[in-house]
Chain A
């Protein structure tokens, strides 16, 4: 993935990049889907390039509408979910736990 300099948007998105994004998103795309997705995302990103005109150097980002702070919960146990009910809704369960196929790579721990 070629990395553009911070702040400037690349002109289009390549299918190599789209393939990497699909992997990051855990979405298996067929070759046709990959090609269509590349075209559609390219078109959208071209459209979204309109914000490149704006001078945003002195603008602070707004991630949440209102500056709330310090919302807490007391450290008191509240009854949770019933294991049997939850595991009954699971795609696969065994021995009181969720069953999944083995991971080839490794997670964090």
Chain B
């Protein structure tokens, strides 16, 4: 399959793209309106400088070239389109020729990321399904009309639904990192349209269909897989794919036709006469570039180097996504074991946010205790939970209070030998190659040691004994 994604993101500005009404989600309908928003006669657009700044930030973070750009009018009639044209960018967009890296060194090209204004929102009243067909009337709220959007268009470099989901997730991380958008698909501040076509390996690209109403990362994957399957079925039964826009129905798990190419509007794009050339100077662009934070990919690489984990591993992704990599770093700097810190933070810090309450130095101590086998892994986990629940704590004191201590190796060896003697059957099976038999031996040892034997140590000793 061949997939391209068009993602619209609402920029996190205080005001709209071309007028000074608030850019806010969730306000009472039609309370963030002004002559420009409503398309009143005589109203004129004036470009929001902060929207440009965020568009450049976003473009640079996606490795785009920032170039002089113009605005065009895209003309069509619809109730949520107050001027009956949308001001967008057409043949000279602000950001071009970028890319994003996905796991496995997969490079997805980004054709463009341009500025445009958002539309109002319609609510359809009446009708059986709540969808448009058969409804009695519509109500329109223009709060969202004029909100600044950047439309990010990928090249058709995506080859499966996993990549598509990774692309959207990574894009979201990048947007959050540079502060361009809060990118909440559930609130509509990030919206995905998916273009899917299929072809035999090595053949030319097939006819593609655009899928709208894909409202979550999960849905991106499902919609792509469904649509690819649908197209393959059509082709295998001798049919042809009609180029069209389709609607993803998440509850039914399928797409259906929205409109065909023949129905498509002629947008009559022409240069917006009410706006002038946008030509950010090199100084501005470079100062924005210099102010960009470390992006998620770089942070993951850094965390991977620090902890020895794979940069594409789930734990690294999760920690960076949560913004807790600085914290793991701090633990390491305080002398802690970085690899263990990574595991602890992933397991126990899901609700802790970017600045956990638990002191990094205390976590460092805990990792050292486990590393030096003073406590078992299980005991460490218990202490960790308690520290997080209490917003801190001294791990040494907590271990002592619970009577946690790891038995030293010779004590554990004695217990292992005792268990081998007591559980001769299990031992025989284990020596014969039945790995599952080890479970009984380990279980007995853990019980008799009251959890003070470190499970890993026990396993290692059993394996060593068997090898002899």
Contacts and interface: CB of A to CB of B under 8 A. Distances in A.
B34 A77 contact: no
Contacts of B47: 71-73
B29 interface: yes
A97 B20 contact: no
Contact of A109 (B31, B80, B133): B80
A103 B132 contact: yes
Contacts of B397: none
B15 A76 contact: yes
A77 B136 contact: no
B138 interface: yes
Nearest to A97: B139
A54 interface: no
B46 interface: yes
A81 B78 contact: no
A75 to B, nearest CB: 4
Interface string A66-102: 0111111111111011010011000000111111111
B14 interface: yes
A7 interface: no
B242 to A, nearest CB: 17
Interface string B34-50: 11011000000011111
A30 to B, nearest CB: 20
Main secondary structure of the interface of B (DSSP, over half): loop
A60 interface: no
B34 A80 contact: yes
A81 B330 CA distance: 51
Interface stretch (B274-282, B297-305, B456-464): B274-282
Nearest to B82: A98
Nearest to A78: B20
A98 B228 CA distance: 39
Contact of A100 (B79, B127, B258, B276): B79
A95 B29 CA distance: 9
A4 interface: no
Contacts of B46: 71-73
Interface in B129-143: 132-142
A96 B29 CA distance: 6
Contact of B279 (A70, A80, A108): A70
B205 interface: no
A58 interface: no
A64 B273 contact: yes
Contacts of B76: 107-108
Nearest to A95: B139
Interface in A29-83: 63-64, 67-78, 80-81, 83
A11 interface: no
A96 B32 CA distance: 12
A77 B15 contact: yes
B13 interface: yes
A75 B86 CA distance: 21
Interface string A1-35: 00000000000000000000000101000000000
B30 A87 contact: yes
Nearest to A66: B276
Contact of A97 (B29, B32, B275): B29
A77 B33 CA distance: 11
Contacts of B78: 103, 107-108
Contacts of B121: 109
B254 interface: no
Contacts of B270: 63
Contacts of A77: 14-15, 20-22
A74 B48 CA distance: 6
Interface centre among A76, A96, A98, A100 (most CB of B within 10 A): A98
B259 interface: yes
Interface of A: 24, 26, 63-64, 67-78, 80-81, 83, 86-87, 94-109
Given A69-B279, A72-B52, A105-B263, 7 more contacts: A75-B51, A78-B34, A80-B37, A86-B33, A98-B139, A102-B134, A107-B80
23 contacts: A63-B273, A64-B273, A68-B277, A69-B68, A71-B46, A71-B47, A73-B48, A74-B50, A77-B20, A78-B15, A80-B37, A81-B33, A83-B28, A83-B29, A83-B31, A87-B30, A94-B139, A99-B139, A100-B137, A100-B139, A103-B132, A107-B76, A108-B86
Rank and list the top 6 A-B pairs by shortest CB-CB distance, nearest first: A107-B78, A75-B50, A78-B20, A80-B34, A72-B49, A97-B139
